[in-house]
Structure 1
Amino acid sequence: MTHWDVVILGASFSGSLIAAILAKNGLNVALVDSATHPRFAIGESSTPSADLILSSLVQDYELDELAPLCRYGSWTQTYPEIRCGCKRGFSYVWHGGDSGYQATANHNCELLVTASESNELADTQWYRTDIDQFIFEQAINLGASDWTSSTIETIQHVEPQSWSLAVTRAGQTERMRADFLIDTSGASGVLLSSLDIADVTQLLRTNTAAVFSHFDHVPSCEDWLAQSQARTKDFPYSIDHSAVHHVTEEGWLWQLRFRGGPTSVGFVTTPDSSEFREMKPIFETGQWDHPKNRFPASLFGGSQCSSIPGQVFSTGRLQRLRESGAGPDWAALPSTVGFIDPLHSTGIAHSLSGIQRLAKIILSGNSTSAREQLQAYSQSILTEHRLIDEMVSGCYRSLWSFELFSAWTMVYFAAATTFEKNYNSGRRDFLCSDDSSFLKTVSRLSQSLDQLNASGRCEKRIVEHLNFLRDQLAPYNHVGLFEPSIPGMYARTAAEKT
C-alpha cells in the first residue's frame, strides 16, 4: 500500500496543473486516470481571464516552463510543436431570418469584440491533445506520480484525512492511501458520484446539446465574408483569428482554427430539436450542401473529419451541476462540479480560477482555516455556475433577434472585463460572482427579458429592454460596451498585456 498527501482523479490539463503546483511545493501527489496521453478533448478556447490567471500561477509557483503559454506569440515561438490557434477576440455572424447572412454598411449581421491588441499578445485556442499531454509531462517531471491507464475500483473514506482507493493497473489491483482527494474527472465526477453528491441540474435554465469534431481543409471565414460583400476592412482583426460563432434562431456553430492544423467545428442547439437531429449526419458525411444545413455550404468547402479524433461526437444535455464542490478533506474543480455551455468560452478560465484558489488552500497548512475556506470555495463555485447559467441562458432566450442577442453578450463582456480590472486588487471570485450588486443586476435583466418574451416581442418593449440593459450594466462598463465607433466592431475592450 502506498500513501499520498494528495490523489488527483483525472489527468486533463487541469488535474495535471494542480498536480504540478502541489508536487513542486513538496507534496506527494498521484495522478490517476483511466486513459492516457495523447487523447482528444474539447474545451479549447482561452480568454484574457484565463491568460491572466495562468500568468499569476506561473509567477506564484515559478512554473517557468508554462510561462510562454500565456500569449500566442510566446507560445508559438517557444513551443511550435504544441499546436494552438490565435484568438484575437469573439466574433458572431448572423445567418438567421428568411434571407440568412446579409452584408451591410452598418454590420447588422456581424459583431466582433476584441480581446487582445495584437497577434503577439493574443489569447489562444488550445489544441487539447497536445497541451494536455505537455502539462501532464510537466507534472510528472516535477514529481507527481503517473497512475494513468488505471481503473478506480473503490473509494472509501476511512476517517477524516484518510482515504483508501483500490486501483487496477496493468492487471494488478493496488491499494492507495491519501490524506486529500481532488476530483478533476469532469463529467465523470468519479469522487462526487462515490460520495453521492446530489445532482441539482434542474436549477439551471440553459438547455443545450452539441455535435462536434475536428475538420481538415475548412475554408477561411474571412474570405467567405469578403466574397459575400462584407466590409472586412472595418474588422479590428482577422476573423479567422478568433472564436467564430455562426448564429441562427435555433442555435450556433463554432469554428476555432489551429495553426498548421485542423479546425474545431461544433453545432449547439436544444437537445430535442429537429436541427440537432439533422446536423449530426451532415457532420458525419460532410454533405454541407444538404438542404437541412442552415449554414452556407461554402463555409465548409470540402472539409472532412480529421483523422484525430476520426469521428463525430454528439452529446445529450450539456448542462450539469452538483450541490457541493468540497468537503473537509476533498474538493472538485469547477469543471467537475458543473458545466453550463461553450457559448462564452468560460471553461478554461473557470478551471484555472478553481486551481488557483484550491492550491492556495491546500498549501496553507492550517487545517482549521482550510476547512472554512473549502466550504467557502464550494459555495463560490456553485454561485459562479449559476451566474454563468443566467448569462448564457439570456443569450439563448434572445436568439430570435441578433440585435438582442448581441446586447446580451455584453452582460458576459461586462462581467469578464470587470473581473480582469479587479483581479490584481485581489478580488478573484470568477466573473464578479462575489459582487452581490452584479448578481442582482443580472437577475433583474433576466426577469426583464422573460417579460419581453412573454409580451409578444413588440418593438417598443424591445427598445425598452435594450435601454434597460445598457443602463443596468453602466457601473460595469469600463471598456465602451454599446458604444463602438463602427457599429458592431469593438476594437478596444482588451485588458493591457505585456
Structure 2
Amino acid sequence: MEVDYDVAIIGSGISGTMLGAILAKHGVRTLIIDAGTHPRFAVGESMIPESGVLLDILAARYDIPELSYPARVDTLINHVGTSSAGIKLSFGFAWNERHQPQRLDHIDSFPIIAPEAHLFRQDVDAYYLALAARMGATIWQQARIQHILEEADAMVLKTGKQDIRVRYVVDAAGYRSPIAQTFGLRNGAQRMQTRTRSMFTHMTNVTLFEEAIAPIEATGMANHLSQSTLHQMFKGGWLWIIPFNNHPRSTNTLCSIGLQLDIDEYGPAGDPEEEFQQLLHDYPSIAKHFEHAARVREWTVAPRLNYNSRALIGDRYCLLGHAAGFVDPLFSRGLANTFESIARVAPKLLRAVEADRFNRQDFESYQHYGLRVVATNDRLVANSFTGFDSFPLWNAWFRAWVAGSYIGVLRWRKIFDDYQRTGDDDALERAIDDTTFPGQLSLESHRFEEMFDKACTLMEAYKQGEREEEDVIATLQALYEEYRDDLPVDFTDFSNRCVSRSSQAFADHLQRWAHMAPHGLSEKLDRGTEPLVFDFLDDYRYGDRIALSRQADAVYLNA
C-alpha cells in the first residue's frame, strides 16, 4: 500500500501536537494538518494535580522530557518564556448574591499541595507544535480538509490542492471535527444534562481578589485567591478569572476571563458585551475586578458549550481531546482528560503502525474511557450548577468532587511511581487500561463512586423539586460521615471552607491515608510511608506559606 504518511493528525492544538511529538519520536511518519496557524488564541488554561502527573508519565514513557515542562510553572518559565504561565495555588470559589456585596464567609478554597500552572495557551500550544516538528512531524498550517474518504487500506484527506493518503487519522480538531462530521459521530450521542453557554476573552488591568475584594487577613485563606483559578459564582452561572500576571517572574499582563450561563436560566446568547456589563451591574463585587480592565480581543461566544459523540473510533480513525466531546470547564478537567486520552491512545497506535494492523477492537478500551469521562464530567457539572442556588448548598456539594479528585491523583502518582521503579511499558499500559472506573473521579474506589452516585442522585432530586435544600445539605453531611473512612479528608465540618493545605504535613497525611485506605484500595494507592518531597515554589508565592497555613488552621480548624 502506498501512503504519504502513517498517521495524519487533524488539529495542531495541544492534544494533536503532543501526540504528534510522541509518534514522530518513535519513527511514525506523522503529518499534523490544521486550517489555522500559530500562535493563536485558545482557552483551557488551568492545570490540576492530575494533569501534572500525567505529563510526567508521558514524558518518562516516551523519553521526551519536554512534554512535562508545562507540568510546573517554573519549568514553563525557564523553557517556554516568562509570559507563558501564571501560577495556580488553589481552586477558589466565591458565591455572589444579586445586587449584594460579596460575603467573605461565602468563599471556599481547595489549595493544592504543589503549585500548578495557568497556561498561556498562545505560547504553550506554539511550544508543543515546535516540539512535534523537532521530533520529526511534518506540519501543514492553513490547509483546510474539504473531504475525507475511507478506503479498505487507507484514509484519504482531500484539501482541494492535493489528496493525502494515510494509514490512520487522529482527529484532534475540536467541535468542528471533520471525522465526526464525515461519519455522523455526533448523531445519536447520549443526551447531556449540562446546558450552558459561554463567552470568553483576555483582558488587561484586571484587579485581582485581594486588591479588589478583601485582603487575605480578612478571608483567612491558606493562600491568596489572586494566585488561584478563581470562580465567581452566582445562581445559574459562574465567571472564571485566570491570571497570568500573578507571580514575581511573570511578564504577562493578561487575565483570561470566561462567563458561563445556564441556558434554561438565562436564555440564548445575546450581545456578549451587553451581557458582561449586565453581570457587572447585577454583582457589584465581581464588578470591582473590572473597574480598570480592558479587553485585548473580541469576545468568543459559544452558544452551546457542551457536546459529545456516540462513538470515538473506527478501523482507521479516532477522535481525541475536544473532538470527542466537551463539558463546561468548571473543574478544569479538560487538560487532564486530554493527557489521559493521549496516554491511552499512543501505545495502541504505535503497535498498530508497527504491525500494519488497524482494527477498532484494539481501541475499544479508549472509547469506553472517552465516552465515560464526558458522561462523568457532565453529571458533575450539571449538579454543580444546581449547587449554585445558594452558598450553603454549594459548600455541601463541592466536597464530593474534592474527595474524588484526591483519590484519583493519589492513584496516578502510584502508577507513575511504579513505572519509575520498573520501567515496564506493558505494565504501565495495563494499569491505565484496567482502571476499575475509567473516566470517573476516583479511578479505583468502589466506595467513593457509590457515595458520589448517591450525592448526584440527591442533587438531581432537589432540582426536580423532590427534596428541600436543607434536607439535601443534611443528607450530604450524613453521607460524608457514613463514608468517612473511605475519604482522604474529613469533609463533615461544613464550617471548614479551606479544605486542604499546601504543606508537608498535609502531604504526609494523604500518604498515610493511602497506605491504610480500606476495602483493598491501599493496593492501588500505597507508596510507602517515607515522607515525599515537594517543591512548594515559595519564591513564586505571595506571603509566607507556612504562616498562611497556620492562619487558615486557626480560622477553619479551631473555629
> TM over 0.5: same fold?
yes
State whether structure 2 residue 273 is matched by structure 1 residue 281: yes
Shift of 1:9: 0.6
Contact 2:379 2:456 in 1 (8 A): yes
CA deviation digits over 1:183-234, x for unaligned, max 9? 100111111111121434552101111121100000121122326xx64462
The change in CA–CA distance for 1:276 and 1:224 in structure 2 (over 3 A counts) is farther
Deviation, 1:450, is: 2.6
Shift, 1:47, TM fit: 0.7
Seen in structure 2, the aligned counterparts of structure 1 residues 440 and 328 have a Cα distance that, compared at 3 Å, is farther
2:49 corresponding residue in structure 1: 48
Contact kept? 1:452, 1:461, Cα under 8 Å: no
Query: Per the alignment, do residues 411 and 145 of structure 1 end up closer, same or farther by CA in structure 2, a change over 3 Å counting?
Result: same
In structure 2, distance between residues paired with 1:473 and 1:188: 42
Aligned residue number for residue 242 of structure 1: 228
One-letter amino acid of the counterpart of residue 177, structure 1: R
Shift of 1:12: 0.2
Q: Aligned in 2, Cα 1:198/1:462: closer, same or farther, shift over 3 Å?
A: closer
Return the match for 2:316 from 305, 315, 329.
329
The letter for the 2-side match of 1:112 is: S
Equivalent residue, structure 1, for 2:328: 341
Unaligned 5+ runs, structure 1 = none
Structure 1 match to 2:427: none
Contact 2:477 2:492 in 1 (8 A): no
- Percent identity, aligned pairs only, is 22
For 1:459 and 1:273, locate their aligned partners in 2 and report how far apart those are by CA, in whole Å: 19
C-alpha distance in structure 1 between counterparts of 2:79 and 2:374, whole Å: 35
Q: Tell me how many residue pairs correspond in the alignment.
A: 478
Contact residue 100 and residue 283 of structure 2 kept, 8 A: no
Task: Work out whether residues 207 and 318 of structure 1, in 8 Å CA contact, stay in contact via their aligned partners in 2.
Answer: yes
After the TM superposition, which residues 76-225 of structure 1 pair with which residues of structure 2 at under 5 Å, given as runs? Answer: 76-96=77-97, 99-103=100-104, 108-117=105-114, 122-159=115-152, 161-168=153-160, 173-200=161-188, 203-225=191-213
Matched with 1:255 is 241
Give the whole-Å Cα distance in 1 for the aligned partners of 2:238 and 2:19. Answer: 33
The structure-2 alpha-carbon separation of the partners of 1:475 and 1:282, relative to structure 1 and needing over 3 Å to count, comes to farther
Question: Which structure: greater strand fraction?
Answer: 1
Does residue 478 in structure 1 map to residue 488 in structure 2? yes
Deviation at 1:471, TM superposition (A): 4.1
Q: Which residue of 1 aligns with 2:369?
A: 380
- CA distance in 1 between counterparts of 2:278 and 2:390 reads 25
CA contact (8 A) 1:383 1:433 kept: no
In structure 2, how many angstroms separate the alpha carbons of the residues matched to 1:334 and 1:436? 27
Shift of 1:490: 2.7
Partner Cα distance (1:340, 1:473) in 2: 28
Q: CA deviation at 1:355?
A: 0.6
Letter in 2 for 1:80: G
Aligned to 1:340, what secondary structure does the other structure show?
coil
TM-score, length basis structure 1: 0.88
Task: Check conservation: 2:221, 2:498, Cα contact below 8 A.
Answer: no
Aligned-partner SS, 1:203 = coil
CA distance in 1, matches of 2:271, 2:478: 36
Larger deviation, residues 275-284 vs 10-19: 275-284
Tell me how large the CA RMSD over aligned residues is. Answer: 2.7
Q: Which amino acid aligns with 1:262?
A: L
Bigger drift between 233-242 and 260-269 goes to: 233-242
Q: 1:68 to 1:483 in 2, by over 3 A?
A: farther
- Given the alignment of the two structures, is residue 402 of structure 1 paired with residue 391 of structure 2, yes or no? yes
Deviating more after overlay: 359-368 vs 371-380: 359-368
Q: Is the 8 A contact 2:34 2:142 kept in 1?
A: yes
CA drift of 1:377 comes to 0.9
Instruction: Give the 3 Å change call, closer, same or farther, for CA 132–154 of structure 1 in structure 2.
Output: same
Opposite residue 348 of structure 1, the aligned amino acid is: L
Relative distance call for 1:291 and 1:79 in structure 2 (3 A) is closer
Residues 356-385 of structure 1, C-alpha deviations (whole Å, 9 max, x = no match): 110011123467796433012112110111
Q: Distance in 2 between matches of 1:60 and 1:327?
A: 26
Q: Give 2:307's aligned residue.
A: 320
Structure 2 letter corresponding to 1:133: A
1:31-65: CA deviations, max 9, x gaps? 01100101111111111100010011111112123
Do residues 268 (structure 1) and 260 (structure 2) align? yes
CA distance in 2: counterparts of 1:146 and 1:190, whole angstroms = 18
Deviation, structure 1 residue 448: 1.5
Matches within 5 A, 1:483-498: 486-491=496-501, 497=534
Residue in structure 1 matched with residue 459 of structure 2 by the alignment: 449
Please state if 1:417 is matched with 2:406: yes
Structure 2 residue 8 is the aligned partner of structure 1 residue 7: yes
Aligned AA for 2:230? Answer: V
Kept in 1: contact 2:316–2:359 (CA 8 A): no
Please state how far the C-alpha of 1:326 moved relative to its aligned partner: 1.2
The whole-number CA distance in structure 1 between the counterparts of 2:165 and 2:362 is: 24
CA, structure 1 residues 356+456, in 2 after alignment: closer, same or farther (shift >3 Å)?
closer
Q: Indicate conservation of the 8 Å contact 1:361/1:370, yes or no.
A: no
Q: Distance in 1 between matches of 2:71 and 2:403?
A: 22
Q: Is the 8 A contact 1:250 1:275 kept in 2?
A: no
3-state SS of the aligned residue for 1:99?
coil
What is residue 298 of structure 2 aligned with on the other side? 311
Bigger Cα displacement from structure 2, 269-278 vs 185-194: 269-278
Task: Identify if the C-alpha distance between structure 1 residues 235 and 86 changes in structure 2 by more than 3 Å, giving closer, same or farther.
Answer: same
1:247-283: CA deviations, max 9, x gaps?
1112111100013230011111113544875782247
Structure 1 window deviating more from structure 2 (427-436 vs 63-72): it is 427-436
The CA deviation at 1:410 is 2.1
Assess, with a 3 A threshold, how the Cα gap between structure 1 residues 485 and 156 changes in structure 2: closer, same or farther.
Answer: same
Shift in alpha-carbon separation, 1:279–1:100, aligned structure 2, 3 A:
farther
How far did 1:290 drift? 5.7
1:408 and 1:242 mapped to 2: Cα distance? 20
The unaligned stretches of length 5 or more in structure 2 are 246-251, 416-430, 511-531, 536-559
Decide whether the 8 Å contact of 1:256 with 1:265 is kept in 2.
yes
Moved more, 310-319 or 3-12: 310-319
Q: CA deviation at 1:442?
A: 2.9
Q: Match of 1:264, as an amino acid?
A: S
Deviation at 1:458, TM superposition (A): 4.0
Indicate the residue corresponding to 1:291 in structure 2.
281
Whether the 8 Å CA contact 1:255–1:266 is kept in 2: the answer is yes
Aligned-partner Cα distance in 2 for 1:275–1:300: 25
Task: Compute the displacement of 1:288 (Å).
Answer: 7.8
CA contact (8 A) 2:99 2:282 kept: no
Per the alignment, do residues 487 and 10 of structure 1 end up closer, same or farther by CA in structure 2, a change over 3 Å counting? closer
SS of equivalent to 2:222: coil
